Chain A
Amino acid sequence: MNSLQNSQASAETSLGKPSLSSCNYSVVFRVFHIAIRESLLSLRKLFKSTRTRSRHGGTTLSHPMGEGQGEGVFPFSIPNRPCLILVAPMPRWVFRGSILTKILVPLALIATASTTGCAAHRRGQPLTVLMDAAQDRQAVSRAQLAITSLFPACYRATQRAIVTVGRKQFACDGALTVSPLDGYHLAVVSSLGVVADVRVNSDGACAVLKVTPLFRESWSRQFLARDLRWLFVPPAHPEPAGRLADGRLVLQTRAGSDGVTARYIFTPGGERWQELELVKNRRSFYRAFVRRYRTFAGYPVEVPCEFEVNAASYRVELRLAEFFIPPALQPEARS
């Protein structure tokens, strides 16, 4: 379990909680070089020319990337590279000093940014999967079995979710019923009533069964059905993709009609599913972490009971509060 937590922690670090250890130093040095060059040649001119008067009489700096773009972002940032902050609101005395000051101050500020954890945010960069030279077929088989038999064929579950959108949190319940006949049927209920009701088939096809004033139909399709499909519907034919640097095994699906590839990350031996990454156009846009497994009364096999989803526009902490197989479905579930 400790290894699971450690691996999750390392994976988390690489996505949303950057640290100095995960910093891409080559990129930092490249930025340093750019900073020196540009600070010598054009920094003063750039900011002086864009200085304007605010309504309140103070001095403001308009960003060279244009209004509303990259505010507070280093103007020479490199796409898809560590985020580089500062400089835009830099005080005027920075640009008035000697050449030495012009060089050292930006460098000091950038160094501060990097050491305080701002330089290694790799949002959108997919996990680096290395080819598995050993081709551990047993581990792959275990992982394939693990991901396709996570849950029984029929069950009911009560979920509790905390959805974070724009720093605000909303708690809601989920009622999930699964059967081969009806697919994956999820209703989300809040304190205000039913939020949405969707059904997803094993092939990923989605039907929105109920639209309420609380939740747009497009949101149900884009977000709710996506969470349901990728967290609870097993992939059809996951294929071995390799391993991560920490040794964890990776299976992935073929790109669907929407161009999305799902990468399932397992323990090195393939026993347990730990993480999911969705990739499209070489960009990671969705990560889910399995936080915990447990057994429930009436079903002795451990199932994933806590998930953490980090999507582009929202975050979900999802727990299974109840999990059981209705008596009428038990023979079907065993099959």
Chain B
Amino acid sequence: MKPTSDFQTPAGDSRSGAIERRLARRLDVRGGITGLWYALTVLGAATAGAQTNQPLVVASPENISQAMAKAQTVFTRFVQERHLSLFNDPLRSEGYLCFQKPGRIRWEITSPYQSILVSDGSGVAQFEWVDDRWKKLDIGLADALQNVVAQIAGVMEGRYASDQREYDMSVTNTMEGPVVVLVPRNERVRKMMAAIEVHLAGDLKATRRVVLRENGGDYTDIRFSDQRVGFELPPRTFDRNAPVDIAQVRQAAGETNAQP
């Protein structure tokens, strides 16, 4: 990754065009992305006390909500596999997830291509590594994305258990640990996202997997590893114009093999 000067911002205006509005109406994007982010906030909650030796906890929405309130920063690696029903092999990507209260999220893919989706709490931005530099996209549906992030911020403030308007939530205990299943209440959202599964560690201190199940058999399986919490993030980690190099975030998170 290159320094700040490599960031290339779009010259276009930020007005939402007619095509974008039509697309937004068609997508009902808020619901779909909310599902993803909701799952990620559960991840944040569950990793609030990671790397500790606390006793097993009975999984419930209240417990998860309480743990969520403690999570200030989260950093984790992920491997994402998109399983498509008509394809034999999944689409695989790897990267890092970074979260900081209030409502700051960075989803960075490092392989097989490089891409950053970042929110600083007041807006979202997306960057693509093109021609050896980061190119900032003039993303469509930015307002919808920002609304989603605002909802996440509310969730992160502890309204998780009491505010379940978006999803029906259930918790199932398995041998490997509890699984939280979120089913969208909105029918239109359910057409895109049938359910979200969050697989927690047995002691509720870490999230192992998040599975986003779509209709028609497609699903996205996100497996997390090396989760770290409660550390000081470098400035501009969530900068929407020139986010800091992920190597610096990794160093701040305490990864020993992080290279600047």
Contacts and interface: CB of A to CB of B under 8 A. Distances in A.
Interface of A: 156, 158, 160, 162, 165-171, 173, 175, 177, 185, 187, 189, 191-194, 197, 209-210, 212-214, 216, 317, 319, 321-322, 326
B139 A197 contact: no
A187 B12 contact: no
B217 to A, nearest CB: 10
A168 B130 contact: no
B113 A214 contact: no
B130 A210 contact: no
Nearest to B82: A189
A82 B93 CA distance: 46
A162 B36 contact: no
A170 B139 contact: yes
Contacts of B87: 175, 177, 185, 187
30 contacts: A158-B91, A160-B112, A160-B113, A160-B115, A160-B128, A167-B13, A167-B17, A168-B20, A168-B140, A169-B137, A171-B115, A171-B139, A173-B82, A175-B91, A189-B84, A189-B91, A191-B33, A192-B33, A193-B32, A193-B192, A193-B193, A193-B214, A193-B218, A194-B214, A214-B26, A214-B27, A317-B130, A321-B112, A321-B113, A322-B112
Interface string B53-83: 0000000000000000000000000000010
B6 interface: no
Output the residue of A177, A187, A191, A317 with the most chain B CB within 10 A: A191
A54 B32 CA distance: 43
B25 to A, nearest CB: 11
B33 A168 contact: no
Interface of B: 10, 12-13, 15-20, 23, 26-29, 32-33, 36, 82, 84, 86-87, 89, 91, 93, 112-113, 115, 117, 126, 128, 130, 137-141, 188, 191-193, 212, 214, 216, 218, 220
Contacts of A197: 84, 86
B29 to A, nearest CB: 6
A191 B119 CA distance: 15
Contacts of B29: 192
Contacts of A162: 128, 130, 137
B142 to A, nearest CB: 8
Nearest to B137: A169
A71 to B, nearest CB: 15
